[in-house]
Amino acid sequence: MKFHETDVRLFTDMMMEGFIFIDPQGIIRLYNQKAKEIFGVVYHQPHEHPPGQLVAGDLVILADNCLGEDDGGLNASTLALMGVAPGTVRQGDAVIAAGIMGGAPGSAKVLVHSPEVQRQSLEMTTTLKKHRLQAAIHYQQKKISLQVDHHLFELPYNSAIGHLAALDGAAGTLKFYQERGYSVRNEALRQLLEGSPFRGKGRHEAHLDVLGKHLTEIHEPSDVIREFLETAAGRPLGYCDRFAEINGRQTLCSLFPVDREGCRQGAVLKVEDVTEMKKALQERDEALRSLEMVESRLKAQTAVTATFAAIMGESPEIIHTRRLAMKAAANKSTVLLLGESGTGKNLLAKAIHDAGSDPQAPFVQINCGSIPENLLESELFGYEKGAFTGARDEGKQGLFELADGGTLLLDEIGELPLALQVKLLQVLQHKSFYRVGGNEKREVQVRIMAATNRNLEEEMLQGRFREDLYYRINVFPIWMPPLRKRQGDIELLVRELLPRICREADVAEKRISAEGLQKLMEYHWPGNVRELENILERAVHLCEGPVLLSGQLMVAPQQGKTKEAAEEPGDKSLKTALMEKEAALIREALARCEGSRRQAMQQLGIGKTQFYEKLKLHGIE
C-alpha cells in the first residue's frame, strides 16, 4: 500500500515531536507542524504587529545578556544607530539600552554589566516621549523581559540571547517585538537595527513556507545542522536523544539516515523541546514541594496538638498559644504566662514542662498570693535550724531546692512582696541563694515559669513590681486567651469536659441540650474555663435525666448575656466606662499615627507588652 505525500504530512503533523526530513542536497522535504512550533516558523502570541522595518524616530528598548552572541553579531557601532555613545559597551557585556533610532550619540539611556561581576539581575526603567520602558535580565531564571507601556514581552534563554521591542515614533503604537524563532525569521538584533525588514505577527503574519528551501536558509549552521546535512549526504552518522541547542532552544535530538536499496535518500531529525519538559518537571517539583510543605505543617500541627492535648480548643488563638508553648518546651528560657484567672495557665505550665527534654524532672509550683508574706520566704528558699521561732531542728528545704534540675512555677507572681522580688532576682541572676538564717550558698539549676493575671507593666508604674525583675522573667511571654475570645471552642470544651465530670461524679454519662449549649455560647465567662467546669459539674448533680437542660445551667441572670448586651447605656459600671474610654483613646492614637503601633504606644506613654495586651483586650486589629 502506497501513501500519498499529503497523507504523510497529515500523519507527521499529528506527532508530538518535531520531525524534519531533508534530501541528500540538504533541501527540506518534510517539516511537520510541531517542528514549526518549536523553531518559531509558526506560533500563537497575544500581541501582533504588521511587517515593516525600524526607521529614524522609532523608540527602541533592547536587552542583551552577552553582546555579540546569538544577536546577529550586534556591536557598539550598530548600537550607535539608536544613540548609544561610542565606547560605552564592549563585546561580551550584558547591556540594556533605550533610545531613538537616529538619535544623537549619547542620547540613549544605557545600563552595562560586565560578566566578571556576579549579580542576580540587571534592571532599568526609563521614559521616552512619555512612554514607560522597562527591561530586566534575570540571570538565575535565565529570562529577559521587556515592558513597553502595558505590553510585556518575555524571552527565555539558555546561554545568550538578544531581545528587542519598538514603538512607532510617529503613531506611538507597538511596531515590533522579538519572539522565539527570530533566526528562522532573519530578525536578529543587528539586522533589525541596520534596517532589515521584519515579518508581521498575529493576523499580519504571512505564511513562511520552508519546504523546498535549503536547511541553512532556516537554521543557523550549528553542529547539529552540519551533522544533519552530512548524514543526508551519505556519511554514516546517527544517534538518539542527544541534548542540543537549536535556534536558542534546548532540544532532545535523534538523527536517522534514510536509505533505500543501499542508496542514501536523505536524513530525518526528530526534535523534542526540552524547555517544555523542564517546565513540566518544574511544575511537578513545585507541586511536590507544596505537598511536602502542607504535609510537614499538618505533621507539626498534629504533633503540637498531641503534645498539648490538655490545652483544649481549635480556635486560632489557642492554636497560636500551643505553637508558642511547643517552642517554649524546646528551650530552658524563663516563661511568663499571662491571662485572666481560670484560663488554664497552670495547666499550660505543666504541659510545657512535660513536653521538655526531661519530663521526669521535678515540677514544683507555688501560689505567691496564697501564703502569708512572713512564711513565703521560707517556703521558697527553706530555712536553717533555729532560724526563727518554731523552726525545725533539722531545718527545711525550700521549693527552689526541691525543684533543682526541673521547673518551678511561681503562680500569681504579681502578688510577690517587693522584698522577696529582690531575692528572686538574685536567684535568677546568679542561680544561687541562701536559706533563711543560713550563710551557706546553695546553687540550683531551676527553670522558672511565672504566671499572673495582673498587668505587670501597670504594677511597675505603681511601684508594686520591680522593673528589673519584670524584664528578667519576661523572656518568653505566652498569653492565654480568655474563653470569651474563643467562644468557638465552647462546644469542644463541653464535649471533652462533660464525660470526665460524669465519671468523677460516678453518674451515667450525660449530654447537653441545644438550648443549653446556646446559653453557654452567649455567656461572657468572667471565670473562663474554670467557671465552665464548675457550671457543668453543678448541672450534672442537678440533672436527673440524660440531658442537661438550659435551666440546670446555673448562669447568673445578670450575666446570661454578654457584658456589652447586659449593660444599658445609662447603667454602666465605672470599670466598663473606663475600659470603653481606654479603647477609644487607643483607636484615636492609632488613627493619628496612621496605624503605626510604635508611635501610638509612645504617644500613650505605655510599654510594648502593655500596649499589645490592651489591643487584645479590646479586640483592636
Render 136-169 in DSSP notation, one character per residue. Answer: EEETTTTEEEEEETTEEEEEE-SS--EEEEEE-T
pLDDT number for residue 556: 58
Question: Are 388 and 431 a contacting pair, CB within 8 Å?
Answer: no
Any idea what the Cα angle at residue 370 is, between residues 367 and 371, rounded to 5°?
A: 100
pLDDT attached to residue 564: 42
Closest of 145, 94, 154 to residue 118, by C-alpha? 94
d(CA 431, CA 443): 6
Strand partners, 252: 243, 272
Q: How far is CA 94 from the centre of its chain?
A: 32
Q: Please name every residue paired with 259 in a beta bridge, in sequence order, or none if there are none.
A: 264
pLDDT in tens, 412-469: 999 999 989 998 998 888 889 888 888 888 999 999 999 999 989 888 888 889 988 9
Is pLDDT of 566 > 60?
no
Q: Which helix (H) or strand (E) holds 300?
A: helix 274-307
Which pLDDT belongs to residue 562? Answer: 43
**Predicted local confidence at residue 450, as pLDDT:** 94
Percent of the chain with pLDDT over 90: 32
Question: Can you give the pLDDT at residue 33?
Answer: 81
Mean pLDDT of 273-296: 69
Type of residue found at 257? P
Task: Tell me the pLDDT of the chain averaged across its residues.
Answer: 84
Q: CB neighbours (10 Å) of residue 4?
A: 8
User: Which pLDDT value is given to residue 439?
Assistant: 85
Residue 331, pLDDT score: 86
* Pair 555, 516: CB distance under 8 Å: no
Q: Output the CA–CA distances (angstroms, integers) from residue 428 to 61, 330, 357, 460, in the order listed.
A: 66, 20, 21, 19
Residue 27 neighbours by CB under 8 Å, 6+ apart:
212, 213, 214, 215
| Residue from 4, 47, 52, 12 nearest 33 by CA | 12
Q: What is the pLDDT of residue 563?
A: 42
Instruction: Burial-class residue 236 by CB neighbours within 10 Å (0-12, 13-18, 19+).
Output: exposed
Cβ 151 vs Cβ 47: under 8 Å: yes
Q: Is the pTM of this model over 0.75?
A: no
Q: Which residue has the higher pLDDT, 575 or 155?
A: 155
Q: What is the DSSP string of 211-257?
A: TTSBHHHHS---HHHHHHHHHHHT----EEEEEEEETTEEEEEEEEE
Mean pLDDT of 361-375: 88
Query: What CA–CA distance (Å, rounded) separates 428 from 179?
Result: 69
> Looking at 244-258, 555-569, 570-584, which range is the least confident one?
555-569
pLDDT at 278 over 80: no
Question: How far does the chain reach from its first CA to its final CA, in angstroms?
Answer: 79
pLDDT for 570 equals 45
Strand partners, 153: 146
In this structure, are strands 447-452 and 407-411 parallel, antiparallel, or unpaired?
parallel
Per-residue confidence band for 594, with pLDDT thresholds at 50, 70 and 90 = confident
- Residues 12, 13, 15, 21, Cα dihedral to 10°: 40
Residue-level pLDDT at 572:
53
Mean pLDDT (whole number) for 541-547 = 87
Which tens digits make up the pLDDT trace of 225-275?
889 999 999 999 889 888 877 665 678 889 999 999 889 999 999 988 776
Q: How far is CA 386 from CA 376, 381, 383, 399, 438, in A?
A: 17, 15, 8, 19, 10
Give the separation between CA 586 and CA 615, rounded to whole angstroms: 8
Strand-pair category, 547-548 with 511-512: parallel
**What DSSP designation does 275 have?**
H
Dist. CA 76–CA 381, nearest whole Å = 84
Query: Which string of DSSP letters, residue by residue, matches 406-448?
Result: SEEEEETGGGS-HHHHHHHHHHHHHSEEE-BT--SEEE---EE
User: What are phi and psi for residue 437, nearest 5 degrees?
Assistant: 80, 10
pLDDT at 489 over 70: yes
What residues have CB less than 8 Å from 270, skipping those under 6 apart?
17, 18, 19, 253, 254, 255, 256
Choice among 222-231, 376-385, 505-514, 598-607 with the minimum mean pLDDT? 598-607
b/e map 339-351, b = 16+ CB within 10 Å: bbebbbbebbbbb
- Length in residues, the chain: 621
- Residue with C-alpha cell 547539529? 224
Alpha-carbon distance 522 to 617, whole Å?
Answer: 18
Q: Could you tell me which residues are beta bridge partners of residue 271? A: 18, 253
Q: Which carries the bigger pLDDT value, residue 570 or residue 197?
A: 197
User: Residues 6 or more apart from 263 whose CB is under 8 A from it?
Assistant: none
User: Is residue 465 helix, strand or coil?
Assistant: coil
What does the block give as the cell for 25? 542536497
Which band of pLDDT confidence, cut at 50, 70 and 90, is reported for residue 575? low
pLDDT at 317: 87
157 pLDDT more than 90: no
**In the prediction, which pLDDT does 281 show?**
65
